[in-house]
Amino acid sequence: MNYIFMVIFCVALALFLFLSLIAYLITSSGKKIPKKDKDTPAVKKKAKRVFDTNLDNMIAAAADPNLSDSDLQELAKLYVATHKLGSKTSKELDDATKKKLEFVASLASNMNASPQTVSFLNKELKKISASYKKEIDAYEQMGLAKRKIKEEQ
């Protein structure tokens, strides 16, 4: 009789431990355990910057030498989404359009802007404002010329 009691007790204990383990795994499955490697500064990702859509602030941000190429790429996407050049009404550029095109020159002159980022901005602006193709190219060339001068100094 004592032997049967011991077997039942061991089976009950094993069943209890098994069910406890299952309950623990179910309750902790949503929690992620951070690894030590992920906490090192070299592995952490930079938080995305939030840019102001004010044109003057965007021009200043495009010229900021502390921004990375990915930040400049995000800025270019935001610019394309928020600032339209419209359609050309005369051969002379009005002040508002010149100011908008100044962003192109500012981004192109930034040393951290990759050729892909500058090209992206150029292509996207030409898609939405085909009548300003020459002006977009001209302002991009002005920015690249400023960039070259910076490189030589």
User: What is the per-residue pLDDT for 10?
Assistant: 83
Write the DSSP assignment of 24-82 as a string of letters.
HHHHHTTPPPPPGGGGSTTTSPPPPP-----HHHHHHHHH-TTS-HHHHHHHHHHHHHH
Dist. CA 45–CA 91, nearest whole Å: 46
Q: Predicted confidence band at 4 (pLDDT cuts at 50, 70, 90)?
A: confident
Task: Please report the pLDDT score of residue 55 as a whole number.
Answer: 93
Using H for helix, E for strand and C for coil, what is the string for 98-134? Answer: HHHHHHHHHHHHCCCCCHHHHHHHHHHHHHHCHHHHH
Residue 128 CB neighbours (<10 A): 13
* Rounded distance between C-alpha atoms, residue 108 and residue 141, angstroms: 8
Q: What is the pLDDT, as a whole number, of residue 32?
A: 58
Q: Rounded distance, CA 15 to CA 62, Å?
A: 65
Contacts for 69 with CB less than 8 Å, ≥ 6 apart = 112, 113, 114, 117
Strands annotated E in 1-153: none
pTM of the prediction? 0.67
pLDDT for res 47? 53
For 69-117, what is each residue's pLDDT tens digit?
999 999 999 999 999 887 888 888 888 899 999 999 999 999 999 999 9
- Does residue 72 contact residue 110 with C-beta atoms inside 8 Å? yes
Q: Determine contact, residues 78/118, Cβ cutoff 8 Å.
A: no
CA angle 109, 115, 120 (to 5 degrees): 100
With cut-offs at 50, 70 and 90, classify the pLDDT of residue 39: very low
At 12, which helix (H) or strand (E)? helix 2-28
Q: What is the pLDDT of residues 132-148, one digit of tens each?
A: 999 999 999 999 999 99
pLDDT: which is higher, 24 or 60: 60
Question: In this model, does residue 43 exceed pLDDT 50?
Answer: no
pLDDT of amino acid 143: 94
Does residue 61 surpass a pLDDT of 80? yes
